[in-house]
Amino acid sequence: MILFAGLYDQCVTADEKVRASTQMRKGMGVMMNLLYAYGMTGTTGGTGGQGSGGSPMSLIFMIIAIFAVMYFLMIRPQQRQKKQHQDLLSKISKGDKVITVGGIHGTVAGVKDNTVILKIADNVKVELSRSSISKVVSSKASKSQTGAQQSEEKTGS
């Protein structure tokens, strides 16, 4: 349960916390079912009961293996995704076209420390927190890089 606490602490919104706690319960349920099944059958292939238990070392190894699998399947990918999103938010600049979490499409008109001013339509600007940006559709930096590559290709040909 301690391993899953890091997953819960990294969640920002209430929806993410609900999803994380549901994943923790499912993961713990699967782990407990596996441990129960392992304890009932044992390593000798018996049909259950009190006398058919495995060695304590194999049980500890099984618990460690289950925690390792849970880490690589649940926690590590979520940490990587969160880091990519943080990098995306730090690279937002004026002129980028973005989509918010609520599905609003707009162009970045200004950038402050923790907020972004988004131009939705003519004479309509909204100030949003950076964390409400879901993805960048097109970036000024990527346009300038592709423009530089095209100019190099023209001069090289």
| Domain end marker among 90, 118, 135 | 90
| Domain end marker among 90, 110, 142 | 90
83/120 same-domain check? no
Please, what sign has the CA dihedral across residues 77, 78, 84, 87? negative
21/77 same-domain check? yes
84/101 same-domain check? no
| Domain end marker among 41, 71, 90 | 90
Least confident of 80-84, 86-90, 116-120, 146-150: 146-150
Statement: the pTM of the whole predicted model exceeds 0.75: no
* Residue pLDDT, tens place only, 105-121: 999 999 998 999 999 99
Give the pLDDT band (50/70/90) at residue 2. very low
19/80 same-domain check? yes
Structural domain including 21 reads 2-90
* Residue pLDDT, tens place only, 121-140: 999 999 999 999 999 998 87
CA dihedral of 68, 72, 73, 75, whole degrees rounded to 10: 100
Q: What are phi and psi of 63, to 5 degrees?
A: -65, -45
Alpha carbon distance 157, 155 (integer Å)? 6
78/6 same-domain check? yes
| Amino acid present at 139 | S
User: What total of structural domains would you count in the chain?
Assistant: 2
6/72 same-domain check? yes
